[in-house]
Amino acid sequence: MKDDIVSLEHYFDRIFYLRSYPDVAESGIDPLEHYCTAGWREGRNPSIAFDTQFYLQRNPDIAEAGINPLHHYVFAGRHEGRKVIPPLREMRACVQNAFRAKLDMGQGPAIPAEGVLSAERLSDRLKAGFLDGPVILSVSHDDYREHVGGVQKLISVEQTACADLSWNYLHLSPSCPRLGLANHVPGLPVALSVRLNGEKLGNVTPKSLIEAFVRARPKDQPVHAVVHHFMGHAPEDIADIVEAIGYDRIIVWTHDFFTLCSGIQLLRNDAVYCRAPAPDSTACGICSHGEDRPAFLARIGAFFSRFTPCVMAPSEAALAIWLKHSSFPHSAALARPLGRLLLSDSRIPFETGGTGRPIRIAFLGQRAYPKGWSVFQTLALRFKNDPRYEFHHLGLAHSVPAAGHIVHTPVNIARDGGDAMIRAVVARSIDVVINWSLWPETFCYAAYEALAGGAFLLAPDGEGNVPALLRGTASEQGLLLDSENELTTLLSTGKLSDVLKLSNRRRGCLLAQEGSIAWCRDQLADDMTNRSEIRLEVQDD
């Protein structure tokens, strides 16, 4: 038995097993011994690259014989060509989850457990919190103080910018966040969570919000509506609110492609980039987001037709894609980058060859399929025993398993600060970051953070802001590749080392931009100038 266990060591990932099954770690039992005696019977996996249940289901003879599947594979199965993981495992999981999410989506709006405020109570809280200044009415898909992401990051920046100007930032999000648009159910409105200048006021119905705002709004101050995201909302409710409060300007952001499809990344069945085909196309007919897309677009289109808003995108690349696939009426279309990359003049020398240290290759951010996590992990597994390379993940795991040899450094921007990822890239001396997103990123903080940390960026060529970034500002600090095969070849041939020697890697910082606020401020200044000029003309007459 002990000799067999020793033979299995090469195929068993101790770190993975202990991370995946903390009860085993707490028990103090040797993880490989646990798997061989009990773990496989309980359906536990010995590594990220071996699926116990799949192997037994695929080979019922092994299951019926009560044989340890890993033992069978090592001593017989691998010589017989037996598979150890489902084909296209991650992609299949995405497709299944996409359809499951569609089925699980509730028909009516959910009601928050804590209830909703009356118009009177909300009015009192608004009066107590309002500053004597303009109001930004901001709308997004979740509470930016409780969730982390690119949209939430920008909203936090906008709130800070408003505070510096003594403006008000009134933020609305669904009290019960959900995928897609909320259904418009008579008598059951979508409850909204309200924050004023960062402070949570409570939940409220659209009707009560309108009544409260009309009573409490700062006198003679403009109101600018900024829709960052429609997800989880009934766009009809948002339209009624915007119209009733008397807006001066209205902006709709395209942080992703939710205004084109409920699949925010334009991934067919959340797995493959679709390039936004016509709603009546065959491609939409086989997608979990396709059946409802005509009705979805009609609801979004009605909002645009009602207001003809100014459209803002986080990059020129994102704006180009939106304009190509959208026919919604709009008054203007502007690219407003979320950040500006500033790099120093000092070049980072490539030292790994001289020191004997392996090239450190990292993945930044969330371990998510659309972000290219499976591509990175597959690469890490392929070169697991290659002394030339060392693989890292910087970010939060969110219970997504990873191979044990991938060094994990937790990075929480909400807790550690906006530049936490950049500092982590520097601290870990990361040489290369792989950013293999499966969709055209509209901005991609991770790419900017990699570059600001001094890493060399590898990404697939195509649409989106990351390829645009590597063709422009960071052309000497990254490389665009045509395929995953080309990425693999870059490592297997050792050419990655040559590329790094010739690269011009520099460190720097990502300077946050003010999003909608700077634009609204400039528009107000122009309005005041125009009014002054008109008054002077009247006086001259």
Q: 185-202, pLDDT tens digit by residue?
A: 777 889 999 999 999 999
Is the separation of the CB atoms in 158 and 124 below 8 Å? no
The amino acid sitting at 471 is R
Q: What is the DSSP string of 9-25?
A: GGG--HHHHHHH-HHHH
Handedness of CA 46, 50, 53, 55 (dihedral sign): negative
Q: What is the pLDDT of residues 147-175, one digit of tens each?
A: 988 999 999 999 999 999 999 999 999 99
Q: The sheet that has 389-394: what strands, in order across it?
A: 407-409, 389-394, 359-364, 432-434, 456-460, 478-481
**Whole-number pLDDT of residue 86:** 87
Q: What is the pLDDT of residues 65-100, one digit of tens each?
A: 999 999 999 999 999 999 999 887 787 778 777 767
Q: What is the pLDDT of residues 109-131, one digit of tens each?
A: 677 888 999 999 999 999 999 99
Q: What is the pLDDT of residues 405-445, one digit of tens each?
A: 999 999 998 889 989 999 999 999 999 999 999 999 999 99
The amino acid sitting at 347 is R
Is the separation of the CB atoms in 283 and 411 below 8 Å? no
The 3-state secondary structure of 48-103, one letter per residue: CCECHHHHHHHCHHHHHHCCCHHHHHHHHHCCCCCCCCCCCHHHHHHHHHHHHHHH
Alpha-carbon Rg for the chain in angstroms: 27
Predicted structure pTM score: 0.92
**Whole-number pLDDT of residue 541:** 58
Integer Cα distance of 21 and 25 in angstroms: 7
**Token digits of residue 513:** 């931009």
pLDDT at residue 176 tops 70? yes
Q: What is the pLDDT of residues 297-322, one digit of tens each?
A: 999 999 999 999 999 999 999 999 99
**Whole-number pLDDT of residue 538:** 57
Query: Which of the two residues, 329 and 355, has the higher pLDDT score?
Result: 329
Q: How confident is the model at residue 531 (pLDDT cuts 50, 70, 90)?
A: low
Q: Using alpha carbons, select from 391, 483, 491, 379 the residue that is nearest to residue 49.
A: 379
Is the separation of the CB atoms in 453 and 479 below 8 Å? no
Q: Which residues contact residue 472 at a Cβ distance below 8 angstroms, ignoring those fewer than 6 apart?
A: none
Q: Using alpha carbons, select from 459, 86, 90, 442 the residue that is nearest to residue 270.
A: 90
Q: How confident is the model at residue 101 (pLDDT cuts 50, 70, 90)?
A: confident
Q: How confident is the model at residue 255 (pLDDT cuts 50, 70, 90)?
A: very high
In the predicted model, what is the mean pLDDT of residues 459-479? 97
Helices 235-245 and 206-216, packing angle to 10 deg? 20
Mean pLDDT of the chain: 93
pLDDT at residue 353 tops 60? no
pLDDT at residue 13 tops 70? yes
Reduce the DSSP state of residue 141 to 3 states and report it. coil
Is the separation of the CB atoms in 514 and 377 below 8 Å? no
**Whole-number pLDDT of residue 444:** 97
pLDDT at residue 106 tops 90? no
Sketch the domain layout of the chain as residue ranges.
2-77, 119-338, 342-512
Is the separation of the CB atoms in 466 and 419 below 8 Å? no
For residue 162, the Cα-to-chain-centroid distance in whole angstroms is 25
Fold agreement between 119-338 and 342-512: yes
Q: Which residue has the tokens 């509209």?
A: 442
Query: Which of the two residues, 90 and 30, has the higher pLDDT score?
Result: 30
Q: Using alpha carbons, select from 256, 229, 266, 250 the residue that is nearest to residue 315.
A: 256
Q: Using alpha carbons, select from 365, 373, 253, 273 the residue that is nearest to residue 318.
A: 253
**Token digits of residue 93:** 């999981």
pLDDT at residue 494 tops 90? yes
**Whole-number pLDDT of residue 210:** 98
Integer Cα distance of 169 and 472 in angstroms: 35
Q: Which CATH class is domain 342-512?
A: alpha beta
Is the separation of the CB atoms in 453 and 430 below 8 Å? yes
Reduce the DSSP state of residue 318 to 3 states and report it. helix
For residue 44, the Cα-to-chain-centroid distance in whole angstroms is 30
Q: What percent of the chain has pLDDT over 90?
A: 83
Q: What is the pLDDT of residues 388-405, one digit of tens each?
A: 999 999 999 999 999 999
**What are the beta bridge partners of residue 512?**
339
Q: How confident is the model at residue 7 (pLDDT cuts 50, 70, 90)?
A: confident
Can you list the alpha helix ranges (DSSP code H) found in 232-315? 235-245, 282-285, 293-307
**Token digits of residue 89:** 């495992």
For residue 492, the Cα-to-chain-centroid distance in whole angstroms is 30
CATH architecture of residue range(s) 119-338: 3-Layer(aba) Sandwich (3.40)
**Token digits of residue 390:** 């060392």
**Longest CA pairwise span in the chain (Å):** 104
Is the separation of the CB atoms in 440 and 464 below 8 Å? yes
Is the separation of the CB atoms in 389 and 358 below 8 Å? yes
Burial label, 10 (beta-carbon count in 10 A; 0-12, 13-18, 19+): exposed
CA distances to 82, 130, 247 from 135, in Å: 64, 9, 9
**Whole-number pLDDT of residue 534:** 61
Q: Using alpha carbons, select from 243, 218, 263, 256 the residue that is nearest to residue 140.
A: 256
Q: Using alpha carbons, select from 319, 366, 345, 315 the residue that is nearest to residue 513.
A: 315
Can you list the alpha helix ranges (DSSP code H) found in 361-431? 373-382, 413-416, 420-427
Q: How confident is the model at residue 477 (pLDDT cuts 50, 70, 90)?
A: very high
**Whole-number pLDDT of residue 540:** 60
**What are the beta bridge partners of residue 312?**
253, 334
Reduce the DSSP state of residue 334 to 3 states and report it. strand
